[in-house]
Amino acid sequence: MYRSTIAPESSFNYFVVSSNKLGISDMTTLCYAKKTCSIGIHVLMEEIGAPYDLRIVDLSKGEQKTPEYKAINPKGKVAALVRHDGSVLTEFSAIAMWLSMTYPDKRLMPTDSEGIVRTIEMLDFIVGTVHMLSWRMWRRPDAYSDDPTGQELLRTRGKTAMLNALDLVDTHLIGKDYLMGDFSVADAALYYNEFWAVDVAGWNLPKNVQAHYERMKTRPSVQSSREIEGVT
């Protein structure tokens, strides 16, 4: 568990893992924002269980656009992972893959070549299609059109596209608890999209995807994430 503190030298809130209070200085820092895909990276950090700092970037205040944050990630996006050596890694899939390779004992990725490429295949579909091509259209139609009528059409298309994509995931989940059979980085990616669909948009998920979502919510890593998000 971690407790909320304010870092005086920072312009944005700073949640710190309790073990940081023991004087550990060479920890990874996750730059995170509520209701974003960084939820999934936070879940993976909790799965790993190693000490880390969690820095909350308040998007409602535009903190992702500040010089302080852009010095960390010039893209002005979350997640960003500041590693032990001070180097920064961005983009969900890259961070997830790095975590799986850095902590192989946590079994966040299959070890056989077929399992690895199938995990990457599913990860790419979830991040690229379910999230970027579908959810973003529903959530941010203003990014594509200034016309209110056009924005409503985009929202409708985005919702349809996301639910159609989740139908494909639903078929993949038949007879499985998790996407690869055992928990993997792909499940963390699916979880943040499930969270958006249910807890943000209020949609109904396909049967097997809903079962996956309920299963994910029983994991301590996800419960920790949901505590920050303020949902049960």
28: left (phi over 0), alpha (psi -120 to 50) or beta: beta
| Structure tokens belonging to residue 147 | 């016309």
Output the pLDDT for position 27: 82
The model's confidence at residue 5, banded by pLDDT at 50, 70 and 90, is: very low
pLDDT exceeds cutoff 90 at 152 = yes
CATH of domain 113-219: 1.20.1050.10
Please give the residue that has the higher pLDDT: either 120 or 14.
Answer: 120
Is the confidence at residue 15, as pLDDT, over 70? no
Residue 178 reports pLDDT greater than 70 = yes
- Gap between the Cα atoms of 44 and 186, Å rounded: 10
Cα(191)–Cα(48) distance, integer angstroms: 17
**Domain boundaries, given as residue ranges, for the chain:** 2-106, 113-219
State both tokens at 124: 């790419």
- Going from the C-alpha of 163 to that of each of 74, 134, 135, 218, the distances in angstroms are 32, 9, 9, 24
CA distance 118 to 123: 8
Q: Please give, one letter per residue, the 3-state secondary structure of the chain.
A: CEEEECCCCCCCCEEEEHHHHHCCCCCEEEEECCCCCHHHHHHHHHHHCCCEEEEECCHHHCHHHCHHHHCCCCCCCCCEEECCCCCEEECHHHHHHHHHHHCHHHCCCCCCHHHHHHHHHHHHHHHHHHHHHHHHHHHCHHHCCCCHHHHHHHHHHHHHHHHHHHHHHHHHCCCCCECEEECCHHHHHHHHHHHHHHHHCCCCCCHHHHHHHHHHCCCHHHHHHHHHHCCC
C-alpha distances in angstroms, 2 versus 43, 47, 54, 159? 14, 14, 9, 35
Average pLDDT value for residue range 179-204: 98
Label residue 6 by pLDDT band (50, 70, 90): very low
- 32-77: per-residue pLDDT in tens? 999 999 999 999 999 999 999 999 999 999 999 999 999 999 999 9
Query: What percentage of the chain has pLDDT greater than the value 90?
Result: 86
The better pLDDT of the pair 39, 26 is held by 39
Give the whole-angstrom CA distance, residue 12 versus residue 14: 7
What is the per-residue pLDDT across 83-109, written as a single tens digit (0 to 9) for each?
Answer: 999 999 999 999 999 999 999 999 999
Q: Taking all residues of the chain, what is their mean pLDDT, rounded to a whole number?
A: 90
Alpha-carbon distance of 84 to 187, in angstroms, equals: 25
Residue 132: pLDDT above 70?
yes
Going by pLDDT thresholds of 50, 70 and 90, the confidence category of residue 22 is very low
195 close to 229: Cβ distance less than 8 angstroms: yes
Furthest CA-CA distance within the chain: 55
Question: Residue 188's pLDDT band (boundaries 50, 70, 90)?
Answer: very high
Residue 26 binned pLDDT confidence (cut-offs 50, 70, 90): low
Which CATH homologous superfamily contains domain 2-106? Answer: Glutaredoxin (3.40.30.10)
CA distance 197 to 192: 9
Of 230 and 149, more confident: 149
153 has pLDDT over 70: yes
